[in-house]
Amino acid sequence: MKSTTSSLIETRRDQILPVLDVGDIERVRRFGSLRSFAAGEALVKAGDVGRGLSIVLEGKIESVHKNLAGQQGPIVTQGPGGFLGELAQLAGRPALVDAYALEPVKALVISPDRLRALLIAEAELGERIMRALILRRVGLLESGAGGPVIIGRADDGDVLRLEDFLRRNSHPRQTLDPDTDAGAKALIERFHVDPGQLPIVLCPQGQLLRNPSEDELARCLGLVGPIDANRIYDVAIVGAGPAGLAAAVYAGSEGLSVLVLDCRARGGQAGASARIENYLGFPTGISGNALMARAANQAQKFGVEMAIPDEVAGLEVADEVSPKRFVLKLSNNERACARAIVIASGARYRRLALPNLDSFESSSVHYWVSPLEGKLCSRQEVALVGGGNSAGQAIVYLASHAARIRLIIRGSDLATSMSRYLVDRISGLPNVEVLTRTQVTGLEGSNEVLQAIRWRQAGAAEEVRRELRHLFLFIGAEPNTDWLAGSGVALDPKGFVLTGPDAGGNRRQLETTRPGIFAIGDVRSGSWLCKN
């Protein structure tokens, strides 16, 4: 465990452990308060919401990580000019590691809100500190130090669900598989856990959770807490996908108080993308999760509060209250109030109703085409389901990579659902075969890799079986707008949110039929997604 953190420290020591000089410390004095710690006293304990960033003025501190047996492993020792903290201290979340004074220590302690003020006011110094906070989290993520331990079989669906939740929210974790790890077996015996009850999760403060929901796990780790229903935020944003996070960064940087709620993880659909190639400023591409982690950190730097996971179940306008405000009702019966609402709840891609579809979604079933998928399908036979324009564009792109494409549509003619120019282009592609009045009936494969698909044409007695590794689904998307029922926000016939001129009444751009409520991203009527 220690070795990965140590190797990152060795390779990027100056950035992870910058030493602030006398001039730097003078500049930041106004943000903190002085504190003394006796030798052996804890500056922070893992699991406790710490005091914030502590800059050592005199003496030495040591950060340590405790393993499940309670043994401590040193992470790093720092002296004057060094500072204690990582992203948890920026967000005001529970600390992931312990830190002790090795000798009498004097420190400048900067609380999370003052730390955010420092990062904005002191741009150059702020950049150095912010980079260190991020890299320290990267080190903890790589080593798993400070996070919960998931015990269960590596291929168990619930283990994968919990790992994915923590990964998407940049929280360190370790997974121990009792089939291969003697330590895991010992822990199962120690806690008297029946193998049928796996996975279990051991949280850093000693709690044991049996196959928890993401919500239970997040609450146990202190990633999400109760929302203050009496506080009125300037803006509440529903959805922490790229649209919601972008709105959060801009609103936060304008000094507004912002709450972002998401029922799953930050990053939305984009967080699931293995490589985003078409985002401005990343010429070599970037994984969706890395891009979204940057966006979330940036939002937190501007003081944006995140409630993840928290599902919004309804929206009310409290007209009787002055000033006028909106109330978001959450599934757990909590409430959040704001003067303006941004709907950024996105859409979910329609899926085929096949029982084992999800087991191939990580590697063989795709809802998107990018150079990465093009490479994956290079000189192979693939199948694509869908007759809309997004399917047509994907086919045209894929045809230059794949050896052969079976385009499967339920209708009897592509032209009824696809623009003429795309129909013409597809008819000119020698490696595309259009299978009309056809439906996929089965998927075969193992270890998350598709080996064959089966389909049947209307009226045909027999299924056709073809060996294929990749299946593309372009069968539309459904907006996540159920929670808007009864809110007075008007939707288009497909359920996407009407905004601007489409919402009538001289609405501002992106404003919905209810003044003060805005919609952005995939959920908005007129977005690229709802047109396909």
Ligand X SMILES: Cc1cc2nc3c(=O)[nH]c(=O)nc-3n(C[C@H](O)[C@H](O)[C@H](O)COP(=O)(O)OP(=O)(O)OC[C@H]3O[C@@H](n4cnc5c(N)ncnc54)[C@H](O)[C@@H]3O)c2cc1C
Q: Which of 59, 85, 268, 479 binds ligand X (CB under 6 A)?
A: 268
Structure-token pair, residue 20: 């602030």
Which residue carries 């807490």 as its tokens? 225
Least spacing, CB of residue 520 vs ligand X, in Å: 7
Cα of 327 vs its chain's centroid, Å: 25
Binding ligand X by CB under 6 A: which of 242, 252, 303, 386?
242
Minimum Å gap between C-beta 343 and ligand X is 9
Which is closer to ligand X, CB of 341 or CB of 503? Answer: 341
d(CA 382, CA 403): 8
Residue 262 near ligand X by CB under 6 A: yes
Is 244:268 a contact under the CB 8 Å cutoff? yes
In the bound state with ligand X, the residue whose beta carbon lies nearer, of 327 and 344, is: 344
* Binding range to ligand X, per CB under 6 A, among 1-9, 85-93, 212-220, 364-372: 364-372
Amino acid identity of residue 358, one-letter, is D
Q: Could you give the residue ranges of the DSSP H alpha helices within 46-103?
A: 87-91
- The helix or strand, by DSSP H or E, that contains position 421, with its residue range, turns out to be helix 420-427
Applying CB under 6 A, which of residues 136, 173, 264, 325 lies at the interface with ligand X? 264
Residues 198, 95, 91: CA angle, nearest 5 degrees: 105
Contact flag: residue 270 with ligand X (CB under 6 A):
yes
Amino acid of residue 465:
R
Residue with structure tokens 């029982």?
355
Q: Is 276 in the site for ligand X (CB under 6 A)?
A: yes
Query: Site mask, ligand X, residues 298-317, x = CB under 6 A?
Result: -------------xx-----
* Interaction residues for ligand X, span 405-444 (CB under 6 A): none
HSE (side-chain half, CA atoms, 13 Å) at 476: 12
**Given the complex with ligand X, which of 209 and 296 has the nearer CB atom?**
296
Contact flag: residue 165 with ligand X (CB under 6 A): no
Does position 368 interact with ligand X (CB under 6 A)? The reply is yes
| Interface region with ligand X, contact rule CB under 6 A, candidates 80-88, 124-132, 229-237, 339-347 | 339-347
CA pair distance 432, 192, nearest whole angstrom: 58
Check residue 346 for interaction with ligand X (CB under 6 A).
yes
3-state secondary structure (DSSP) of residue 501 = helix
Tokens of residue 211, six digits: 């196959």
Could you say whether residue 479 binds ligand X (CB under 6 A)? no
Peptide linkage before 112 cis (omega within 30 of 0): no
* Interface residue with ligand X, options 5, 175, 269, 297 (CB under 6 A): 269
Using CB under 6 A, list all residues that contact ligand X: 238-244, 261-264, 268-270, 272-273, 276-278, 311-312, 344-347, 367-368, 370, 480, 483, 521-523
